[in-house]
Amino acid sequence: MPSVNHPGINKLANGWFISRMLLVAALFLALNALVGVFYFIVPGNIYPTVHMILEFTGVIVAMSVSLMSWYDYKYQGEAGVLILSVVFVMVGMMDFAHSLSYFGMPDFFGANSVNKASTFWILARIIQATGILAAVAAGQRRYSGKKSAFMPLMAIIVTLLSIYLTVICEGMLPPMYDPVLGVQTSLKVYLEYAVMAVMAAATLLILQKADKNKGDFDLAAALLAGIMSEMAFTLYSNAYDAYNLLGHLYKVLSFVFILRALVEEALEGIYRANHELVRKGEELAEANRQLRAADRLKDEFLANTNHELKTPLSAIIAFSELMADEENAGQLNELQRDYLKEIRDSAQALLDRINGLLCLTGIMGGKVVLCQEKMSLKEMVSEVVARNRPAFVNKGINLDVTFADGEWIVGDKEKLSMVLNNLLTNALKFTDPGGTVAVCAGVDREAGSSFFSISDTGIGIEPGQTGSIYKMFYQVDGASTRRQGGTGIGLTLAARLVEMHHGRIELESEYGKGSKFTVILPLIGLEEDKTCPQK
């Protein structure tokens, strides 16, 4: 049933509904009175054509109602519209049989007669009236039976069968038209009254509804037109007279009202969906704005906190270096020197992590720019290796360094040092004592790239994990990395920094045997050394 839940779209006030219904009823009665005053009989040579046009229009509208209701049901799943869909395909077919049985049409399974046409007519009206009553009663109740798709199909088969049986058994059925007297039988007239009563009951059911909407108004108007149609058919005394014509007209009008209700329902559905979409869009935009604000706050917080942490850490490193300088701070025994070194190394490790986090936050916020300058790859690698060598010695891991041809490249020395440092500390972490880590760096002029690679004889990485290790906070084995320490951002940061250099990281790894990370950077002409703001 046409239903609208969105407030303010088309709910109607009761007074408005009743007054509009009374207006429609008054218009219909005026039309009836007009026909009474200007009563005429349509000439026999014209009537069949006029009748056919009205009937076929009715059939087309009935089929459209059925189709529209079906799609309405498909999207909304309401029992009322499913009933309408089934009822109107039956009504359309019965009315089609009625039109084909009329005088002037070729014989339809045997000789045509007014009685045959009237039988199909009254059958169509009984189906129409009871169907609409059932649809109104079912209303917006949900129905999602699996067999619902077969219902219109079943209705078509049953109607075809009924049409065939009606034609075959016409002689056995009670007559609807008396050809001798040229009038409808009293049974036909009573049946028309019964149809009117059923339609009136459906109308009352709608009037009783608390929250009526435009769709309900159209349906009530359709029922009123249906009642008027039946009334006209009880009034006619000649099959070609003005009342008969008016009855057909009302019938088409009744179908059109129902179609209008369905079209409006569909349009309102689109309106509602659109309205909802706009609302959701606004909500999303607002959520997005809040997220951006929260993100900015987070960035600011991280930047401030990192700064707050870096300052005391730098002081710890500086003072532990000063204390280690025996000329300045006096003689230290071996144990004191060891403790001091531990303090310095731990503070440096912490500073490296904070710098990494700060750098990653900056990259995410689009605030990090590269300082591309002519630099010696050999020097950069040697410095990072020298910084890390004591830790390798401590853990008992061999650290080999080889340099291939070429030395000068253009890049951000500080950032590339960070990349190498992260890869080297990972190699150290994931290689057992006695293992070997080999660093190789050089320039491949033919390939137009420079590279540095770090291979280890460590735990290796399973093939299924190689894509994930660059994700932020990702650690292959939480337990082992907890043992080794780590935050899960080292490779993310390395990958981002290499990407910023338009390079890539290649990984070859054999689980249980070791891994090799190779950073490949495109060679930029030395003349392109322009991006360093402070230079």
Closest residue by Cα to residue 84 from 271, 301, 259: 259
Q: Does 458 bind ligand ADP (CB under 6 A)?
A: yes
Distance CA 94, CA 100 (A): 10
Q: Give the range of 202-210, 315-323, 391-399, 426-434 binding ligand ADP by CB under 6 A.
A: 426-434
Cβ neighbours of 200 (radius 10 Å): 16
Among 166, 426, 450, 457, binds ligand ADP (CB under 6 A): 426
Distance CA 174, CA 188 (A): 9
Cβ-based neighbours of 130, under 8 Å, separated by 6 or more: 198
Q: Give the range of 311-319, 384-392, 476-484, 527-535 binding ligand ADP by CB under 6 A.
A: 476-484
Among 48, 139, 269, 486, binds ligand ADP (CB under 6 A): 486
How big is the site for ligand ADP, counted in residues (CB under 6 A)?
22
Q: Give the range of 119-127, 138-146, 469-477, 519-527 binding ligand ADP by CB under 6 A.
A: 469-477
423 neighbors 454 (Cβ within 8 angstroms): yes
Among 231, 427, 441, 498, binds ligand ADP (CB under 6 A): 427
Distance CA 425, CA 397 (A): 12
Q: Give the range of 24-32, 327-335, 341-349, 468-476 binding ligand ADP by CB under 6 A.
A: 468-476
**Length of the chain, in residues:** 535
Q: Give the range of 155-163, 317-325, 355-363, 425-433 binding ligand ADP by CB under 6 A.
A: 425-433
Q: Does 490 bind ligand ADP (CB under 6 A)?
A: yes
Cβ neighbours of 464 (radius 10 Å): 9
- Closer residue to ligand ADP in complex, CB, 65/491: 491
452 neighbors 381 (Cβ within 8 angstroms): yes
Cβ neighbours of 348 (radius 10 Å): 15
Q: Does 130 bind ligand ADP (CB under 6 A)?
A: no
Indicate the SS3 state at residue 169.
coil
Per-residue b/e over 3-26, b at no fewer than 16 CB within 10 Å?
Answer: bbeeeeebbbeeeebeeebeebee
- Closer residue to ligand ADP in complex, CB, 63/459: 459
Q: Does 388 bind ligand ADP (CB under 6 A)?
A: no
In the complex, the smallest distance separating the C-beta of residue 346 from ligand ADP, rounded to whole angstroms, is 16
Distance CA 69, CA 81 (A): 5
In the complex, the smallest distance separating the C-beta of residue 496 from ligand ADP, rounded to whole angstroms, is 11
Residue type, 461: I
Residues 437-456, one symbol each (x = binds ligand ADP by CB under 6 A, - = not), give -------------------x
Q: Under the rule (CB under 6 A), what is the footprint of ligand ADP?
A: 422, 426-427, 430, 456, 458-459, 461, 469, 474-477, 481, 486-492, 515
